A and B are shown apart, each in its own frame.
Chain A
Amino acid sequence: MTSLPVVDAPFKKDPSAPFGFASFRYTERGFDTQAVKVLPGEFYADSKDTPIVTILGSCVAVCLRDAAVQVGGMNHFLLPDGGESGIAGTAGRYGVNAMEMLINELVKRGAQRSRLEAKIFGGGHVMKNFTSLNVGQRNAEFTKEFLNTEGIRLLSEDLLDVHPRKVCFLPKSGRAFVKKLAVDESLVMQEKQYQSRLVEKPVAGDIELF
């Protein structure tokens, strides 16, 4: 009797998943299991080698992994236009939050903050009409400053330049693949919309006094 090929069950959104946890699954060529697409502002973490895929223009994606427990994940973010981009700055806190969401999810799955290692991608100079001089560079610099402050070891980086990138990360093994893409206007528009959403609807969590 021949065994049937392994196919993922249709993905149901986990109601207990935190806000921003990526839920779009699709078939990515070259992989047996369904891939997860991380959209701008989202993140994903897993202890299986689920391919985590994202497309980056000036945004950055940070892939974090704790090799000891083989848990990893990826986020995808950019800083809003204007404001200070340092960690304590008005723009920087959006990035700190994106990192915190991912790290917290990894810690819940058994990772230790002190053991995390990073691979970082993106920050391409693709938004030529933007008021900021170089949005991608700002995102890349923030990310490196954050990792340095947190003491997270940087294993590899593919940053800046003028190309969008497609990144695929396997969270269990920690392998990452990058493909440089041609500049795509729809990607640039998507990032601009994401950035303006950040400014229009500032991110802040609920407050409850008991």
Chain B
Amino acid sequence: MLSILAVDDSPSIRQMVAFTLKSAGYSVIEASDGADGLAKAKEKTVNLVLTDQNMPLMDGITLVKNLRGMPSYATTPILILTTESSDDMKAKGRAAGATGWLVKPFDPVRLVEIVKKVIR
């Protein structure tokens, strides 16, 4: 089963994301901020990372940079799911090595479509 790491400091968003992705047949590991996400990504190499941007301890873009520095995550798809929609923030995400930028709120059907498209 393909696994996804879902990182968000909001328990409600994690619940929504996990429900959507589990319903689509993926196994989901949850993390509550970037630092927690990084620790969980090291524990088990997942097939895709979906992370929020604004979080305590470590934000999403910093998480992306850290993951891209690890050989096991050099090519893993990493999607940022955030309420941030400015071109400036997107450019930072892209420069850090993110695969895509999804602006909240997410449509569950479209989220699953994008995940299917990029996961490997």
B103 at interface, CB cutoff 8 A: yes
Are the CB atoms of A203 and B54 closer together than 8 Å?
A: no
Main secondary structure of the interface of B (DSSP, over half): mixed
**B71 vs chain A, min Cβ distance (A):** 21
Identify which of A93, A101, A104, A112 contacts B16 (C-beta below 8 A). A93
Chain B residues within an 8 Å CB radius of A19:
85
Closest residue to B98 on the A side, CB-wise? A210
A107 to B54, CA, bound (A): 8
Are the CB atoms of B118 and A149 closer together than 8 Å?
A: no
Are the CB atoms of A146 and B12 closer together than 8 Å?
A: yes
Are the CB atoms of B10 and A208 closer together than 8 Å?
A: no
Supposing A19-B85, A97-B104, A100-B104 touch, asked if A209 and B114 sit within 8 A by C-beta, the answer is yes
Binary contact readout A42-72 vs B (1 if CB under 8 angstroms, 0 otherwise): 0000000000000000000000000000000
Q: How large is the interface on B (under 10, 10 to 19, 20 to 34, 35 or more residues)?
A: 20 to 34
Identify which of B9, B15, B86, B94 contacts A87 (C-beta below 8 A). B15
Supposing A150-B11, A204-B105 touch, asked if A209 and B100 sit within 8 A by C-beta, the answer is yes
Are the CB atoms of B11 and A151 closer together than 8 Å?
A: yes
A113 at interface, CB cutoff 8 A: yes
Closest residue to B84 on the A side, CB-wise? A104
Supposing A19-B85, A202-B107 touch, asked if A210 and B12 sit within 8 A by C-beta, the answer is no
Are the CB atoms of A208 and B15 closer together than 8 Å?
A: no
Are the CB atoms of B118 and A88 closer together than 8 Å?
A: no
B29 at interface, CB cutoff 8 A: no
B38 at interface, CB cutoff 8 A: no
Binary contact readout A197-210 vs B (1 if CB under 8 angstroms, 0 otherwise): 00000111111111
Q: Interface residue count for A (Cβ, 8 Å)?
A: 34
Are the CB atoms of A150 and B10 closer together than 8 Å?
A: yes
Binary contact readout B75-108 vs A (1 if CB under 8 angstroms, 0 otherwise): 0000000011110001001100011111111111
Are the CB atoms of A88 and B15 closer together than 8 Å?
A: yes
Are the CB atoms of B99 and A204 closer together than 8 Å?
A: no
Closest residue to B53 on the A side, CB-wise? A104
Chain A residues within an 8 Å CB radius of B54:
104, 107-108
Binary contact readout A110-147 vs B (1 if CB under 8 angstroms, 0 otherwise): 00111000000000000000000000000000000010
Are the CB atoms of A208 and B105 closer together than 8 Å?
A: no
Q: Which among B20, B54, B83 has the greatest number of chain A C-beta atoms within 10 A?
A: B83
Supposing A19-B85, A104-B83 touch, asked if A88 and B99 sit within 8 A by C-beta, the answer is no
Instruction: List 24 interface pairs A-B (beta carbons < 8 Å), by A numbering.
Output: A16-B86, A18-B85, A87-B12, A93-B105, A100-B10, A100-B12, A100-B13, A100-B105, A101-B83, A104-B54, A113-B9, A114-B56, A149-B11, A150-B11, A151-B11, A204-B110, A206-B85, A207-B101, A207-B102, A207-B103, A207-B110, A208-B102, A209-B100, A209-B118
